[in-house]
Structure 1
Amino acid sequence: MELLFSQYQYSCHKRVLYKRDELIVLKRNQTLLLEYFLQNPNDIHSKDDILDVVWQNKVVSEQVVFQTISQLRAIFGEQSIKTYSKKGYKWQYPVSKGGVSEPLLSPQNIAKNKKSPYVLYTAISSVFILLILLLASQWQTPSPQISLHLAINDHVSDSQSKLQQTDINALSNDALFSVKPVAVPESNQQHFLSPQQAWKSAQLPQQSWLFWGDIYPSEQGVFLHYGLSRDTRHWQGYTFGETAEKAMLALREQLNRLHDVEFFSTSKAIRLAELQTMHAAAPNNEEVTLLLAKHLIHAKQPDIAMVHLDKLLHNQGYKQKAYRAQAQWLIGMIYKIRKQHQQSAHRLTLMNEELKQTTLRPLQHDYINTSAWLHYEQGNIDPMFRVLEEAITLTKQQKEPLAQFEFHMLYSILAKKVDNTSKQYAQLNKAQALLIDHNLSDSNKAIVYFHFALFTEDNKLALPYLKRILNIPRTASNYWVLDHALEMLVTYYIEVGDFKSAHALFDGAIKQPAHLLLKAQVLLAQGLIDDARPLLQDAFNKARLTHNKPASLNSALALYQLAYSTPEIKREYLAFLQTNGSQQWLKQHGVTSAIALEH
């Protein structure tokens, strides 16, 4: 039997595919899956059904289904196979039979059964029921499309080319996504820095995603840097094409790949366990691998992260430059954390080599930022200042006020660390001027206020700045400033015995381990040990779940020091501290002697 669809002809008997008169060579699994779709074009096929039919008794992961689906889409077009969220896949092209097929009842059988009307009636009824089932399968309610809102900003001066309303048709995928424009007040650069705040500012419906992208023409094609955000969940990555149109097609494909690993199915923040599941399903997805490596580094598993990053470095070709540059950067960061400065500098040099033939400004800025910190740690003060001055000149020429602001702030921070007061204040004032002149987001003011607070010699004079910081929107780039400001305020109020003001800093339910720990410290200062203990235990558990090592150590230390802890429980916390705390930390917090006594 031959099956016809679009411009193709498939022979079920020979299991070969032709496009007009041209033979299309398919792999075995591609052939079996295509045949399954063509023979059942009106059904939605689950991953389990596909595994049973195509791979039968072989033990394989669901990733093979995703890969084979993607391969068929690459051959027949994205629209050929439709994904139904949490249901499966359905063939989209109309299918017709090209050869003469055996009738359901041959003339001989009809003649044979003239004396047996029951058989004929049964056959006709079966055909009728089959037709009803086929029609019913087409009436199944498809999963709702994922709503993407493309951020459009015509008010902020921005020299970088970005996705515009005219790009919506190229991004739309009737099977999975609907794309609409939405006016936003801030630049794409700000969205990449604070995606959660960007989503809130856009005032989108709860189920909708904010979407934005910058275009970077380079020597051999076009890189597209895109971002996605919904409430506490966000993503960013790079695609490449020889032309802008091909880069957009690559972006559509990447969105489909994210859909296949169910990225869009929740609004919860991405955790390490989820990334490990996503990577198992899509081991060749570079963006999943990079984000997994970042989370592993945060979880103090750098050696495992390096295994994944080394794999990315083996991907050759110009289009892989963005991924290889990021992999070199992250490996350099691992060496920097380990104080292996020579190896770190080498990796940064390799990162810079990858970026030379591109215009990938965000990655260039990451390179400059890390290089400046590395010079500081090595005591190379003049090269450190020179790198920052070149960065400020570069971002000024590129007309990127937000990046220029960040480098002025970094210059001020490092100048303070090397006791260069004149440069410290000069750079801080320039950063503040940029905030005002370019009407940058209020979220950027946090670090300016924080440094004004640090520069005051009287803690009481710092209070107005610290209070202002807590009223600034929390973002991925300023969260550490807000946490430090809260800690400084709590410490001050405990020192002066103003417990009412200290408690007033905690509004509503407290979820973050560091905040639970601060609240417990206020209660301990008041002598309310029984009230503090459950908060410390909650902080300890949540810190371990989120791989927050400082909070887990500090909460374990507080629990160990509680007067009413039993000896057995105290030993458990002491064992945790000994296993997870560095020798310097243990000595600094007076735990070393307790460990010695225990042994």
Structure 2
Amino acid sequence: MKYLFNDFMFDTEQLTLYKKNEVIGCRYNEARLLALFLSEPQRVFSKDDILAQVWNGKVVSEQAVFQNISVLRALLGDEAIKTFPKKGYQWQLEVKPFIDAAPAQPIASNEGPSKATFGNGRRLWLLAIPAVAIVCVIAVLLMRPQEQLVRTRVALLPLLIEPANQHSQSIHAELVQPVWDSLNQTDSISAVAVKDVKDYRDFFHAPQKYLGRLLQQTNGSVVMAAIVGMHDQQVSIRYLLKSKQGGWSASHSANNLPLLLEALDKHLALIVNSGVLEIDPADSNLINARLKILYQQEPDDLVVLAALANSESRTGNHSNAILLADALGAKAKLHNDKTCEGEAYVIAASAYMAQSLFAEAAAALRKALEIFTVQQDYRNLALVQQTYSYLAFEQHDYDGFKQALILAMGFAQQANDPLLEMSISAYLSVVANKFGNKDDRQKYLERAESILDQILQAREHYGLIYFYSGMYAETDPAAEKYYRKVLAILPVDQKWWERDRAREHLTQLFIKQSRWDEALGLYTNVGKLGASEELIVSNIHAARQDWPQAETHALLAFKLANLSGQKYIALDSALALLGVYKATNQPEKMAIYKQFLAKEASNYSYWLRVNREALDRFSIAIPR
């Protein structure tokens, strides 16, 4: 049976999904689940129904149902499947059966079947073949989506050179110019060279500074910055693709230039046509779904596999992340790609940490350290040491944490990446503050500011320094002054996390002083609010005991966070709703969110540690 809905057609016999005559990647269980919904679109299927009919009674977790539904929503739209709490899921789109054109009927003949088939009929069929071929070609061209004929217009920034190669006399002719020529001649993108001669190295750290101007200047939809290098008979490229909605970072290394250019061209074609660049980075569920499709299309693309492994870990699927990291490491060894092999160990280490498997995490990081040390890859060595610092933090080891970040800053210096060094120093300052070490707090914040002073960076980068200064301020007026300074120097039309956090902290200060209207004013006339902003607005209303408004915004925050895979915000929203329902004496509603927290919070050890007291207050028992 074939079904039509929106721009899609689904063949339940072949378990194949089409959109505008193109096959859309859909895994086996996702296709079976879609077939189940379409078989009875009016029915609400419980999780048990789905497990029984899609997985045939195999023992899998309920999380498998949620993940597959999330993928289908990502493919078909959030409105395609509706969740009925405690009941199940129901199909929502209008469905029509697809009727194939009726096959042509044979014309009756008095000459009998033998003559009709093997006599003049054969000559007629031979004559018909060219005509049929022409018709098929025309039909294919007519059905071909127009967007395939239009290449993505990319603003191409001047290529940068890895620090280790900057003094090479031959690097420009041997690597920079061939890569530049290839990017300008490829069929994957329509490159528009940016005329500026400015060093855009900080584009990798703060693309929002340049994005709007560059897209307008080139009439492009994506900006690309890249750094090339040569080491130990290998050539490499590291690059960032950034659009207004999302972004994508990747790196390739190869034994020779032709192989590097081939990998680059193939990967660019995959990414710019995948829709990944149109997804908000905060929407981790949609990104995860898209990456699964990309991995299904290109299982040997190491960059996609690494991104999927990272995504699985971010969405709480840590065991799967470890399996994918192992697969990445094996494939990287096969292709002699040391960068991806080292990255595989770092991904695995992060997933191990999330499960409190600290010994396994340390072992993985040691292997990554060995690989990047041999490669003299100082940037990745800095990132490995940062991951070591997270491991020490999880184990409440401040000395180990500090030592790892001091090493990371040294590697960032060797990589000639002052903004990376600055951000590491600032992070060390923040954690020193958490551990109550005021001397280190001040020392490393001043060090971060000194780095900015030395490299004469634009004022936007000082937003980080002012934000932390506000956090450390010992009086409310001093804190307010710093937070307002952050809001003043960071443009509203650019995405800066420092601005969002400064606004959040300023809101908490206003709540503390009962300045309700000023607090709410920070979130009016700023466009559509996301999950985190809705939660903050809920907290403002809760503080002034406006419980109906507090509930409305907390519910919206909870919904948005779950739809986009923002797990920490979903957990925070559930806690906020518990507070609302406790204040308004609604134990039945409290039970819903207690159950959610008891089930979901165990996957996030850091969140648990921070919020253990609140969970205890609501009598939510989660194993330590």
Deviations, residues 311-333 of structure 1 (Å, cap 9, x unaligned): 11212246421111111011112
Say if 2:478 is the partner of 1:461: yes
The answer to whether 1:234 aligns with 2:247 is yes
Deviation of the 1:580 alpha carbon:
2.7
Larger radius of gyration: 1
CA distance in 2, matches of 1:565, 1:466: 37
3-state SS of paired residue (2:571) = helix
Q: Does structure 1 residue 151 correspond to structure 2 residue 147?
A: no
Task: Give structure 2 stretches of 5+ with no counterpart.
Answer: 1-19, 25-31, 33-121, 603-607
Retained in 2: the 8 A contact 1:226–1:238?
Answer: yes
- Aligned length in residues: 486
Question: Aligned AA for 2:614?
Answer: H
- Structure 2: how far apart are the matches of 1:475 and 1:305? 35
Q: Indicate if the aligned counterparts of 1:220 and 1:318 stay in contact, CA closer than 8 A.
A: no
Mapped contact 2:161–2:227 kept (Cα < 8 A): no
Once structures 1 and 2 are overlaid, which stretch shifts more, 568-577 or 535-544? 568-577
- Write out per-residue CA displacement over residues 415-461 of structure 1, whole angstroms, 9 at most, x where no aligned residue: 44455444433332232122133233544323211221122211221
Aligned partner of 1:305 among 301, 321, 327: 321
Deviation of the 1:128 alpha carbon:
8.0
Quote the RMSD (CA, aligned, Å).
Answer: 4.1
Q: 1:265 to 1:124 in 2, by over 3 A?
A: farther
Amino acid of the structure 2 residue aligned with 1:247: L
Query: Which residue, 203, 208, 213 being the options, matches 2:221?
Result: 208
Partner of 1:67: none
Q: Does the 8 Å CA contact 1:313/1:327 hold for their aligned counterparts?
A: yes
Please, which of 579, 589, 593 is the counterpart of residue 569 of structure 1?
589
Change in 2 beyond 3 A, CA 1:125/1:178 = same
Offset of 1:493 from its aligned partner? 0.6
Q: For 1:102-113, what aligned pairs fall within 5 Å after superposition?
A: none
Which range is displaced more, 523-532 or 468-477?
Answer: 468-477
Give, in angstroms, the shift of residue 338 of structure 1: 3.6
The residue type equivalent to 1:344 in the other structure is A
Instruction: Give the counterpart of 2:261 among 229, 232, 248.
Output: 248
Partner of 1:325: 342
In the alignment, is the contact (CA less than 8 A) between 2:463 and 2:499 conserved in 1? yes
Q: Deviations over 1:320-372 (max 9, x none)?
A: 21111111011112233344333222111100122133243332221122223
Query: For 1:57-92, what per-residue CA distance to the aligned partner results, in whole angstroms no more than 9, with x for missing partners?
Result: xx9xxxxxxxxxxxxxxxxxxxxxxxxxxxxxxxxx
Secondary structure in 1 aligned to 2:508?
helix
Contact 1:444 1:478 in 2 (8 A): no
Distance (whole Å) between structure 2 residues aligned to residue 590 and residue 129 of structure 1:
70
- Name the stretch that deviates more: 159-168 or 412-421: 159-168
Question: Alpha-carbon deviation of 1:308?
Answer: 0.9
Q: Is the 8 A contact 1:194 1:477 kept in 2?
A: no
Mapped contact 1:151–1:210 kept (Cα < 8 A): yes
Structure 1: segments with no counterpart, 5+ residues: 1-44, 50-58, 60-118
Code of the residue aligned with 2:264 in structure 1: it is: L
1:538 correspondence with 2:556:
yes
Match of 1:191 among 185, 203, 213: 203
In the TM superposition, what whole-angstrom CA distance separates every residue of 1:215-248 from its partner, at most 9, and x where no partner exists?
2312131121121111121111111222345422
From 215, 219, 222, the counterpart of 2:235:
222
Contact kept? 2:389, 2:405, Cα under 8 Å:
yes
1:510-563 C-alpha deviation (Å, 9 max, x unpaired): 432121011112123333322332211110111112232332223223323334
Alignment of 1:4-15 (within 5 A): none
Distance 2:373 2:413 in 1: 19
What is the aligned partner in structure 2 of residue 579 from structure 1?
599
How far apart are the structure 2 equivalents of 1:180 and 1:274? 27
Q: TM-score, normalised by structure 1?
A: 0.70
8 Å Cα contact 2:378-2:415 kept in structure 1: no
* Residue of 271, 274, 280 corresponding to 2:287: 271
Q: 2:309 maps to which residue?
A: 293
SS in 2 for 1:231: coil
Q: Deviations over 1:106-147 (max 9, x none)?
A: xxxxxxxxxxxxx99999999789769868978987611121
Question: Paired residue for 2:506?
Answer: 489
| C-alpha distance in 2 between matches for 1:448 and 1:382 | 23
SS across alignment from 1:203: helix
Shift of 1:289: 1.8
| Change in 2 beyond 3 A, CA 1:179/1:459 | same
- Aligned residue number for residue 522 of structure 1: 540
**Counterpart amino acid of residue 588 in structure 1:** E
Counterpart residue number, 1:349: 366
Q: For 2:251, what is the secondary structure of its paired residue?
A: strand
Separation of aligned partners in 1, 2:132 and 2:390: 72
Instruction: Call closer, same or farther: CA 1:206–1:273 in 2, change over 3 Å.
Output: farther
**Equivalent residue, structure 1, for 2:566:** 548
* Structure 2 Cα separation of the partners of residues 377 and 512 of structure 1: 29
More off after superposition, 264-273 vs 492-501: 264-273
Q: Which aligned pairs between 1:175-186 and structure 2 lie closer than 5 A?
A: 175-183=187-195
Give the residue type in structure 2 aligned to 1:298.
R
Query: Shift of the alpha carbon at 1:186?
Result: 6.8
| More deviation, 198-207/306-315 | 198-207
What residue identity is the alignment partner of 2:155?
H
Work out whether residues 558 and 569 of structure 2, in 8 Å CA contact, stay in contact via their aligned partners in 1: yes
With over 3 angstroms needed to count, the CA separation of the structure-2 counterparts of 1:385 and 1:549, relative to structure 1, is closer
Deviation at 1:566, TM superposition (A): 4.5
Within 2, Cα distance between the matches of 1:520 and 1:356? 49
Instruction: Tell me how far apart the structure 2 counterparts of residues 130 and 254 of structure 1 sit (CA, whole Å).
Output: 33
Judge conservation of contact 1:332–1:347 (CA < 8 Å) in 2: yes
What is the alpha-carbon distance in structure 1 between the residues aligned to residue 560 and residue 570 of structure 2? 8
Cα distance change of structure 1 residues 463 and 158 upon mapping to structure 2, 3 Å threshold? farther
Q: Distance in 2 between matches of 1:391 and 1:264?
A: 31
Task: Give the whole-Å Cα distance in 2 for the aligned partners of 1:415 and 1:187.
Answer: 33
In 2 relative to 1, CA 279–476 (structure 1 residues): closer, same or farther, beyond 3 Å? farther
Q: Identity of counterpart residues, as a percentage? A: 18
Is the 2:413–2:421 contact (alpha carbons within 8 Å) kept by the matching residues of 1? yes
Letter of the aligned partner of 1:312 in structure 2? L
Question: Contact 2:486/2:502 (CA < 8 Å) preserved in 1?
Answer: yes
Q: Which amino acid aligns with 1:199?
A: L
Counterpart secondary structure, 1:178:
strand
Note closer, same or farther for the CA distance 1:475–1:241 as it changes in structure 2 (3 Å cut). Answer: farther
Contact 1:329–1:351, Cα closer than 8 Å, also in 2 = yes
**CA–CA separation in structure 1 for the residues paired with 2:219 and 2:543:** 41
Rounded Cα–Cα distance in structure 1 between residues aligned with 2:492 and 2:346: 26
Judge conservation of contact 1:156–1:187 (CA < 8 Å) in 2.
no
Alignment partners' CA distance in 1, 2:493 and 2:326: 30
The aligned amino acid for 1:572 is: I
CA spacing shift, 1:408–1:134, aligned 2, 3 Å:
closer
